[in-house]
Structure 1
Amino acid sequence: MNLDDLRKEIDKIDDKLLQLFQERMGIVKDIAEYKKVHNIPILNSELEKAKLSDIISKTDEELVSYTQILFNTLFDTSKSYQEKLNISKPSAFGYSNKKFGLLGAGLQHSYSPLIHSHLGDYEYGLYEKQPDQLYDFVHNSDLDGFNVTIPYKKDIMKYCNILTPIAKRTGSVNTVIWRANSLIGDNTDYYGFRYMIERSGINPEGKKVLLLGDGGSAATIKAAIRDMNAGCLVTVSRSGQENYGNISNHYDSDIIINSTPVGMYPDNGKTVIDISSFKKCIALFDLIYNPAQTRLMYEASKLGIKAYNGLSMLVAQAKKAAELFTDSVIDDSVIERVVEKVAKKTGNIVLIGMPGSGKSTAGKALAELTERAFIDTDEVIAATYNKSASDIIKDKGEVFFRDIETKVLEKVTKQSNCVISTGGGVVTRERNRYLLRQNGIVVFLKRDLSLLSTLDRPLSQQNTLEELYKARKNNYLGWSDYQIDCDDTDKAHLKIYEVLGL
């Protein structure tokens, strides 16, 4: 065939693609109408990820990254069309003259201002106060309303003139608004928690539910779980009758809810229980959202137990609070959009791949493009030990280097909104797998071995590149969420940006 003939063939294929696209969007419209009638969120990120994974598994290896771009674009187009049909935009806008915020302690890592920025155009700040400052804050601040977090969800109740029924029932207030010169205390955590459970598709009715922790959120969770007709609800705490010393009595639990702070930033990696002992468990709900995947969630997922973090609860309760703040109604579909935006904004992008595959070059460019901090683990090691990674391996051996590499990962992967470039051998330690994934999306940069430099890379000099790659390939693939061709290192960051839908 000559060039004209080839172009004609392309034209025929394009005509077929257009027809199929129009048919697909017609079905998308039907789905949008069904979701609107049944009040189902537009975004189902887990289903979307599973579908993309299935598509990629059927794709020729050399076309994987292009297929990811194509279908991510197609999915985004479908969601945009559904949103237009549902007219599902927040209605808490037009309140730029209003001022709200979050009252609590230790708020420097709070996601609340970011979340509320997607829910309305009002001002939303953070207010860290000591217990003896509460009275002055409540009576003399210029806020139109505020959210409350630990440790003041109970303390704030005595300052409220009116408590809603759910606030009275749970003995907990997390949202306070002014109405007719009266301070009204409400509990939107109840709504947020129920949303978290219901979006998962896991029905607690008739099931044994184990609640870990009896702190500030426990009363709200208990109320919601009882309202969802759980068969049995057991609360385990450090000093209660049901405690971690006799928790074996409840190894038959169907659902586990972690309301403790164990494993929360900055104490990442800790777990309150050994979930492998719970042979009947089908789902874990961890109220922690930073890190995005706690160690407990990671271990549960490895066992095939469905695991969910607390971000959807946080966003859902914020949405309910925004409605109270502005006396407006926000479509529930907004919750999933905000969850996706916050997860992308706060999550890390972790680059793995062979030495010399362009991780540092691509990482720096991607960090600048996405306004993230850039971290190169080899550079952190060099700055900490005053010696380059290659010199440490030469002088102390690979085992010593891997030990300090893991220590560095334990620190840097706790952070949020970063691009992290790792050493080529990071995948040789199983411990590192969780560290990379706890707060980030892992991207494997693939580059033709013939393009890799072995200069100042002792392991690449001691072994052939083919041997190194063969030993690590399965982990590169198994640990990563996305695989991207990186033969052209100057454009790799653009590919990552497109594939991840940033």
Structure 2
Amino acid sequence: MEDLKEIRNQINKIDEEIIKLLEKRFDLSKKVRAYKISHNKKIYDPKREREILKKIKEESPEYGEYFLPIFQEIMDQSKNLQKEEEKYGLLGKSLAHSYSKIIHEKIAFYDYQYFEKKEEELDYFFERKDFKGINVTIPYKKTVMKYLDFVSKKAEKIGAVNTIVNKNGKLYGYNTDYYGFSYNLRKNKINVKDKKCLILGKGASSKTVIQVLKDEGAKKIVFLSRKYKPYFKDVKDYFDFEIIINTTPVGMYPNNGKYLKEIKLDDFKNLEAVVDLIYNPYMTKIIACAKEKNIKYATGFDMLLAQAVKASELFLDKKIDESLIEKIKKSIYKEKINIALIGMPAVGKTSLGKILAKNMNRKLVDIDLEFVKKYGNIEEFFNKYGEDEFRRKESEIIKEISKKTSLIISCGGGVVERKENYYFLKENSLIVEVKRNLENLETEGRPISKKYNLFDLYKKRKKLYDSFKDFEVENNNLLECAKEIEVKFYENIDN
């Protein structure tokens, strides 16, 4: 019989071999992860995991059932190692409004996280260098430059870095916002060559904008700001300018609907295009105004997507086809853009909303029901406070609801009575007018029907509905109409 000590020695040797083999296995796992990321493949493959476990059980009838939990743990730890090996993310002070995680995880199959840091935490963050690649947002685009070993010429010229790559412990800084803004102009066919360009704001983002404008041959560039001359109040001196670019955070989530009161597009007689760097909401008030006036415009979302794709190229050291930018945009819009239903009372907005919410796996928000939750019975409120107060309260509800995304919003028939509701709804919604033969509408018990004849009411509102809507549908059959809305919604995004 073998000596116990000898048996234990043999076990120890086997354990040493197992450790060496596990080290090799984990090293190979890292290579698999790197390969899959560079070839845009999903890192986790549950099918292969199941096949491995099945094979282990079959090849060892005697011990297979004991091996299964061991190998499951090995694979679980391998996945944990892969997650820790290369961290990607966004560095900033407040990131609740960010879409970066959604975008980057659509560009490539890597985990992307948010690093919310106070300025006093940056020293430790960069001392650890516990990341493979990060994007940088306000207010740290200039601050981070002191931590870098290398800064690209373009980023140095602009004086701001928004992308950092960790290459074997050395930190390399780049500015992909330059590419993002340039792409935004090109994609939306905004030509700045020989044009007078007015930049609103003088923060870090404006530095990128001015560099692109200079490189693309702008004739004249002027900044307006609150702190430095010329001020926003001096805008009258620049009414002949042709391009307006907003680089301020005015109107950015959660302060949706805010607007630089000094800037009125009607004052600019030669205005050709408006650009806003804000991407949340999708359409700020200044952009909605431009759209309304048939002025060429560009939102901040195209810039955000383009700079993210360029940053991902730097993270992965590979070229990514530019067509991916538009594909990701459409994908996110289809998931996030609201459908807001407007139209006369009793045309079926709520019923259609319920069907759409179910078919599209979205939440339905009925503005009338939200009003009842907050202020009680609508008819009683009408009688006590009057229509004007009702409309004011209704607008407050629409303003808050419109900040959200992925909703079906059923609006009251009179939502179009207040112009501000258009700007609230357009922030994150496509607006659909639901129509129906007026003779088939049942309005009994509705407060507004006691004040107006239905045909007179429609005559009063028709132009308003036309000015609000992105498209219209005729509701002769609920199921067919809901399907038509869904089809047209996707067509609008694809076009």
Alpha-carbon distance in structure 1 between the residues aligned to 2:42 and 2:228 = 46
Q: What amino acid is aligned across from residue 113 of structure 1 in structure 2?
A: K
- Answer whether contact 2:282 2:428 (CA < 8 A) is retained: yes
2:126 maps to: 138
Q: Per-residue CA shift, 1:220-239, capped at 9, x if unaligned? A: 11111111111111122222
Deviation of residue 141 (structure 1)? Answer: 5.6
Q: 2:96 aligns with which of 108, 133, 136?
A: 108
Tell me, what secondary structure is at the counterpart of 1:118? Answer: helix
Tell me, what secondary structure is at the counterpart of 1:246? Answer: helix
Alpha-carbon distance in structure 2 between the residues aligned to 1:102 and 1:431 = 34
Tell me, what secondary structure is at the counterpart of 1:177? Answer: strand
2:255 maps to: 267
Q: Measured at CA, do residues 120 and 205 of structure 1 come closer, stay the same or move farther in structure 2, by a change above 3 Å? A: same
Tell me, what secondary structure is at the counterpart of 1:205? Answer: coil
1:298 maps to: 288
Q: Per-residue CA shift, 1:37-56, capped at 9, x if unaligned? A: xxxxxxxxxxxxxxxxxxxx
2:351 maps to: 361
Q: Which 10-residue stretch deviates more, 317-326 or 354-363?
A: 354-363
Q: Does 1:310 align with 2:257?
A: no
Tell me, what secondary structure is at the counterpart of 2:405? Answer: coil
1:58 maps to: none
Q: Per-residue CA shift, 1:317-336, capped at 9, x if unaligned? A: 00001111111111111111
Q: How does 1:16-95 map to 2 (within 5 A)?
A: 93-94=40-41
Alpha-carbon distance in structure 1 between the residues aligned to 2:205 and 2:289 = 23
Q: Per-residue CA shift, 1:347-395, capped at 9, x if unaligned? A: 221001121222112213322333333211111111111x222332233
Q: Measured at CA, do residues 369 and 103 of structure 1 come closer, stay the same or move farther in structure 2, by a change above 3 Å? A: farther
Q: Measured at CA, do residues 354 and 241 of structure 1 come closer, stay the same or move farther in structure 2, by a change above 3 Å? A: closer
Give the percent of matched residue pairs that are identical in Structure 1 and Structure 2.
39
Alpha-carbon distance in structure 2 between the residues aligned to 1:160 and 1:95 = 31
Q: Measured at CA, do residues 399 and 240 of structure 1 come closer, stay the same or move farther in structure 2, by a change above 3 Å? A: closer
Q: Does 1:418 align with 2:407?
A: yes
Alpha-carbon distance in structure 1 between the residues aligned to 2:480 and 2:132 = 48
Q: Measured at CA, do residues 390 and 141 of structure 1 come closer, stay the same or move farther in structure 2, by a change above 3 Å? A: farther
- Answer whether contact 1:92 1:330 (CA < 8 A) is retained: no
2:174 maps to: 186
Q: Which 10-residue stretch deviates more, 118-127 or 242-251?
A: 242-251
Q: 2:460 aligns with which of 462, 466, 471?
A: 471
Deviation of residue 305 (structure 1)? Answer: 2.4
Tell me, what secondary structure is at the counterpart of 2:172? Answer: strand
Tell me, what secondary structure is at the counterpart of 2:232? Answer: coil
Q: What amino acid is aligned across from residue 96 of structure 2 in structure 1?
A: Q
Deviation of residue 489 (structure 1)? Answer: 2.4
Alpha-carbon distance in structure 2 between the residues aligned to 1:467 and 1:91 = 63
Alpha-carbon distance in structure 1 between the residues aligned to 2:412 and 2:467 = 17
Q: Which 10-residue stretch deviates more, 138-147 or 438-447?
A: 138-147
Alpha-carbon distance in structure 1 between the residues aligned to 2:99 and 2:483 = 27
Q: 1:176 aligns with which of 153, 160, 164?
A: 164
Tell me, what secondary structure is at the counterpart of 1:500? Answer: helix
- Answer whether contact 1:102 1:147 (CA < 8 A) is retained: yes
Q: Does 1:167 align with 2:155?
A: yes
Q: 1:482 aligns with which of 443, 468, 471?
A: 471
Q: Per-residue CA shift, 1:200-229, capped at 9, x if unaligned? A: 222211111111111011111111111111
Deviation of residue 95 (structure 1)? Answer: 7.0
Alpha-carbon distance in structure 2 between the residues aligned to 1:483 and 1:92 = 43
Q: Does 1:158 align with 2:133?
A: no
2:12 maps to: none
- Answer whether contact 1:351 1:422 (CA < 8 A) is retained: yes
1:254 maps to: 242
Tell me, what secondary structure is at the counterpart of 2:107? Answer: coil
Q: What amino acid is aligned across from residue 379 of structure 1 in structure 2?
A: L
2:219 maps to: 231
Alpha-carbon distance in structure 2 between the residues aligned to 1:147 and 1:153 = 9
Q: CA RMSD in A?
A: 2.1
Deviation of residue 438 (structure 1)? Answer: 2.4
Alpha-carbon distance in structure 2 between the residues aligned to 1:411 and 1:237 = 28
Q: Does 1:396 align with 2:385?
A: yes
Alpha-carbon distance in structure 1 between the residues aligned to 2:140 and 2:275 = 23
Tell me, what secondary structure is at the counterpart of 2:108? Answer: coil
TM-score, normalising length: structure 1: 0.78
2:490 maps to: 501
Q: 1:372 aligns with which of 362, 380, 388?
A: 362
Deviation of residue 178 (structure 1)? Answer: 1.3
TM-score, normalising length: structure 2: 0.79
Q: 1:328 aligns with which of 313, 318, 326?
A: 318
Tell me, what secondary structure is at the counterpart of 2:166? Answer: strand
- Answer whether contact 2:287 2:298 (CA < 8 A) is retained: yes
Tell me, what secondary structure is at the counterpart of 1:260? Answer: coil
2:270 maps to: 280
1:195 maps to: 183
Tell me, what secondary structure is at the counterpart of 2:398? Answer: helix
Deviation of residue 418 (structure 1)? Answer: 1.7
- Answer whether contact 1:177 1:183 (CA < 8 A) is retained: yes
Q: What amino acid is aligned across from residue 443 of structure 2 in structure 1?
A: T
- Answer whether contact 1:361 1:490 (CA < 8 A) is retained: no
5+ residue gaps, structure 1: 1-89
Q: Which 10-residue stretch deviates more, 200-209 or 270-279?
A: 270-279
- Answer whether contact 1:378 1:388 (CA < 8 A) is retained: no
Q: What amino acid is aligned across from residue 182 of structure 1 in structure 2?
A: K
Higher relative contact order (CA 8 A, sep 6+): 1
- Answer whether contact 2:95 2:116 (CA < 8 A) is retained: yes
Q: What amino acid is aligned across from residue 448 of structure 2 in structure 1?
A: L
Tell me, what secondary structure is at the counterpart of 1:478? Answer: helix
5+ residue gaps, structure 2: 1-36, 44-81
Q: Per-residue CA shift, 1:219-269, capped at 9, x if unaligned? A: 111111111111111122222232223232222211111100112122222
1:447 maps to: 436
Q: What amino acid is aligned across from residue 324 of structure 2 in structure 1?
A: V
Alpha-carbon distance in structure 2 between the residues aligned to 1:166 and 1:371 = 44
Alpha-carbon distance in structure 1 between the residues aligned to 2:198 and 2:207 = 14
- Answer whether contact 2:438 2:454 (CA < 8 A) is retained: yes
Deviation of residue 197 (structure 1)? Answer: 1.0
Q: What amino acid is aligned across from residue 255 of structure 2 in structure 1?
A: D
